[in-house]
Amino acid sequence: AQSVTQLGSHVSVSEGALVLLRCNYSSSVPPYLFWYVQYPNQGLQLLLKYTTGATLVKGINGFEAEFKKSETSFHLTKPSAHMSDAAEYFCAVSVGYSSASKIIFGSGTRLSIRP
Amino acid sequence: DVKVTQSSRYLVKRTGEKVFLECVQDMDHENMFWYRQDPGLGLRLIYFSYDVKMKEKGDIPEGYSVSREKKERFSLILESASTNQTSMYLCASSPGWGANTGELFFGEGSRLTVL
């Protein structure tokens, strides 16, 4: 069965520091992988996605993630944190490629930025 | 831009009441989803629909039903609300087969409190 594990429910970094949010997945078939961000009192929006091809994926707001099949990981990084990055981040895996592909979400990581 | 609109951002209901949560999308997407979001649990799929009048149970369908009479509208129904259904409810949509990379487009959420 497919699953997603996000390590760390809460991560706190200083402004300007590296952001690293960890995600590991389990999938019996090549997965599609996603990172979504949720700002307070809003729905989720897509940060970036991996489908096929290049394993280093760049997203919005300076975030990127690398698909590592050997490690079954899809960690999210940003070189320099901004105060506006404070939000909750969800890793997700797509199960199957049918018309109603089912998305499985991790439990989320809340990112706090210290001034 | 894709817009997914949830009719109510905040609702307060009493135990035993029937509750309707409405969701409308304007991008002619085939697939629509209802998720429930709770702290530490991430997003859990309640129901999804891949066509008008079609519905499929997700991971936690108990206590909920859905209706999709028109392509753009997907309603979540709580027949008899209970306190353990106090939560954030998120509606999402995605394109159908051929255009589907698994990416979901979310509404802003409906925060339901059952007293």
pLDDT at A76: 98
How confident is residue A3, by pLDDT bands cut at 50, 70 and 90? confident
**Burial grade of B70 (CB within 10 A; 0-12, 13-18, 19 or more):** exposed
> Who among B42, B90, B107 is closest to A108 (CB)?
B42
Q: Which residues of B touch A102 (CB under 8 A)?
A: 45, 48, 58
For B25-57, the pLDDT digits (tens) are 999 998 999 999 998 888 999 999 988 988 999
Whether A56 shows a pLDDT value over 60: the answer reads yes
For B8-23, the pLDDT digits (tens) are 999 999 999 999 999 9
Q: Which residues of B touch A51 (CB under 8 A)?
A: 101-102
pLDDT at B20: 97
Of residues B90, B70, B88, B75, the one with CA closest to residue B23: B75
Q: Residue B8 and residue B24: Cα distance in Å, rounded?
A: 12
**Which residue of chain A has the CA closest to B43?**
A105
One-letter identity of residue A11: V
Of residues A115, A88, A93, A96, the one with CA closest to residue A104: A93
Sequential DSSP letters for A57-83: EE-GGG-EEEEETTTTEEEEEESS--G
